[in-house]
Structure 1
Amino acid sequence: MAEKKGSFAVLGLGNFGATVATELARFENYVIGIDGDDKVVNAMADKLDQALILDVRDEAALREAGVGECDAALVSMGHDLEASVLATMNLKVIGVETIWAKATSKTHHRILSRLGVERVIHPEVDVGNQVAQMMNNPLVRDFVTLGNGFYVVNLIIPDALNGESLGDLNLSKFDLRCLGVMRGTDYLGTEGDNTTLECDDRLLLLGLRADLRAFTSSL
């Protein structure tokens, strides 16, 4: 394979799989994209190192395509349960150590987890939760879940807090930790409670969901 950062296989080039494959390639990784639809594969041919028309249920075909040599693989045929499960099993057999997979139901999720998938993804649910959170509170620009109930939230400073110091926010009262302040493209870090906030600064906060919600409601 070409000398690139990493090597990945994406099985299923629908909207989700194609987006992941394209972005991985943009990050200068070696990417093999696989789908059974020739039109889909042809559309990706110029974007990936390899775009192949294969049956993901065919272990020998995946092995011959070099998928077993990849650092990681994504199984993204969420709506075809049989293909998803068999593709995952084949990836295990041919030696792919890190497997991510898309699921569309709780049952699908359980099956993939028992097959040893490292991470099971629910794109529609994940994006839906994120959109709802941001629509519910316009101050929230983005957030990332860290597991065990902890989140990092990107919170925009409203007009009412312009000129206030970081200490004035009394984050300890809400059991929150400030990871830094962004002003435009500049990262101000956490230079202490004396940092003066400006309208439209973005505050990066770490904490439990309930505590973050209580803080944003107080603004």
Structure 2
Amino acid sequence: MPKQNRTFAVIGLGAFGSAVASELARFGNTVMGIDQDESRVAKLAEALTSTIILDATDEQALREAGVDRYDVALVAIGHDIESSILATMNVRVLGVDQLWVKAINKTHHRILSKLGADRIILPEQEMGKHVAQRLNNPVVQDYVNLGNGFSVVTMAVPERLKGRTLASLEIGSRHDVRMLGLMRGTEFLPCTTPELELAAQDKLLVLGRRPELRAFGDAL
């Protein structure tokens, strides 16, 4: 199980960094927000555990702020590639266990890989794929790409299927996907009973390869 209440240092409090930092804090984690912009820091002063105004390209400043004592650091600096690279190098030197970095483009991504970032995020590309998946099939609420062609998707049960049983979906016979369970409000229901009747607003959790998932979604 993942360690609870981990500590995070988020460097760069633009739209992306501030959203990540706020959510991490909402989950109950210890979060320090760092930015050069005083107004950005001030906006998150009450939401985060701590905030500090400093230049992340200054290794000594990061060390004095105690960034090396955090479990995870996220470098989320916006369009200043040079500052992002220098901040990434500094955090790597400090020896933070996990280093995540926001990349602006593929060239930036390659440079960050060479610097030893543990995870590199291209937010616009990832969100674009996410939106395309939902536009392609309106019943898809969310999805997680597991690699090797497999994904887990959340599919909304259409109104017309209300009262139908799980068995009627022909999962495993007509459709080569696997049902992991369904969410009914905030309750998780395992799909171990074929006679379980579907309700409006149910969300199916389905595992499979992209073509099979698409076919199953179209059938819904």
Look up the match of 1:51.
Answer: 51
Cα-to-partner distance string for 1:159-198 (whole Å, 9 max, x where unaligned): 3323322122122233211010222222221223222223
Distance 1:40 1:182 in 2: 37
Look up the match of 2:94.
Answer: 94
Uncovered stretches (5+) of structure 2, i.e. residues with no partner? none
Uncovered stretches (5+) of structure 1, i.e. residues with no partner? none
Distance 2:51 2:162 in 1: 52
Distance 2:29 2:9 in 1: 10
Distance 2:159 2:40 in 1: 48
The alignment status of 1:186 with 2:187, answered yes or no, reads yes
Which TM-score applies when normalising by structure 2?
0.91
Look up the match of 1:128.
Answer: 128
Look up the match of 1:177.
Answer: 178
**Runs of 4+ with deviation above 6 angstroms:** none
Moved more, 5-14 or 126-135: 126-135
Compute the displacement of 1:206 (Å).
Answer: 0.6
SS of equivalent residue, structure 2 residue 207: strand
SS of equivalent residue, structure 2 residue 83: helix
Look up the match of 1:144.
Answer: 144
Aligned length: 216
How high is the sequence identity, in percent, across the aligned residues? 52
Cα-to-partner distance string for 1:98-132 (whole Å, 9 max, x where unaligned): 01111111111111122221111111222222222
SS of equivalent residue, structure 1 residue 171: coil
CA contact (8 A) 2:137 2:214 kept: no
Compute the displacement of 1:91 (Å).
Answer: 0.7
Look up the match of 1:28.
Answer: 28
Distance 1:67 1:55 in 2: 13
Distance 1:58 1:153 in 2: 42
Moved more, 63-72 or 41-50: 41-50
Look up the match of 2:154.
Answer: 154
Distance 1:20 1:134 in 2: 22
Look up the match of 2:210.
Answer: 209
Which TM-score applies when normalising by structure 1?
0.92
The alignment status of 1:69 with 2:63, answered yes or no, reads no
Q: 1:2-13 to 2 correspondence within 5 Å? A: 5-13=5-13
Structure 1 residues 183, 26: CA separation in 2 closer, same or farther (over 3 Å shift)?
closer
CA contact (8 A) 2:14 2:78 kept: no
SS of equivalent residue, structure 2 residue 111: helix
Compute the displacement of 1:199 (Å).
Answer: 3.1
Compute the displacement of 1:68 (Å).
Answer: 0.4
SS of equivalent residue, structure 2 residue 152: strand
Distance 1:33 1:163 in 2: 49
Distance 1:218 1:49 in 2: 47
